[in-house]
Structure 1
């Protein structure tokens, strides 16, 4: 019988990145925000509109969604500091995985949060 304790899990250190990203996408599907300027409630035929509308049905999500995206990035960074994330990996492999996870979550959260923050402004 082989001992699998020495072999690290392929998702070790990436759980919060993958699961958190999927949860944010699921939340966006449920919230069904406005994706086009033409669909904004303040769109009056001009490209710029009158501004100040929300992409979400409830304007409170203009605050909560970026806050959740920031929380996701913080959780990804915290996961990278856990010893189990680094167990069985070389320093280089650990740093590369940590860098990819943090940069991917930061890029995705900025893309998601900013795209809905400016669509109806």
Structure 2
């Protein structure tokens, strides 16, 4: 009788940090309530730079947090537990999907929020 002690790979393996980070940024933006319309910017009708946030430092903090999220997603892909029980092609597709999804979400979020009033 052959006993298999290998665990089934988790369905979210490789996407945990991606999904948790996305939820974190949705909650963060809900708390910070940035300006979402160009007409609501403090410098509307004039020139100069303004922030979409009440505290202009969040323009920088958001960029750093989004970059950190991308780094954490890449690091998650290098963990051996992420690759356990998967073939190379499946692992590569999951890694590429998680990194691509995070990059698109990060760039889209940063461009839409942090650059709105500049």
Output the TM-score relative to the length of structure 2. 0.93
1:107 corresponds to: 104
1:26 corresponds to: 27
Match of 1:70 among 67, 72, 81: 67
Runs of 4+ in 1 over 4 A off after TM superposition: none
2:88 corresponds to: 91
Shift of 1:115: 1.3
3-state SS of the aligned residue for 1:113?
Answer: helix
Match of 2:113 among 110, 113, 116: 116
Shift of 1:51: 2.6
After superposition, the C-alpha distances for 1:21-75 in whole angstroms (9 at most, x for unaligned) are: 110111011100000110001113xxxx313100000000010001100000000
- Give 1:30-49 correspondences, 5 Å limit: 30-44=31-45, 49=46
CA RMSD of aligned residues (A): 1.5
Q: Between Structure 1 and Structure 2, how many residues are aligned? A: 116
1:13 matches 2:14? yes
Unaligned runs of 5+ in 1: none
1:79 matches 2:71? no
Change (3 A) 1:100 1:4: farther
Change (3 A) 1:13 1:4: farther
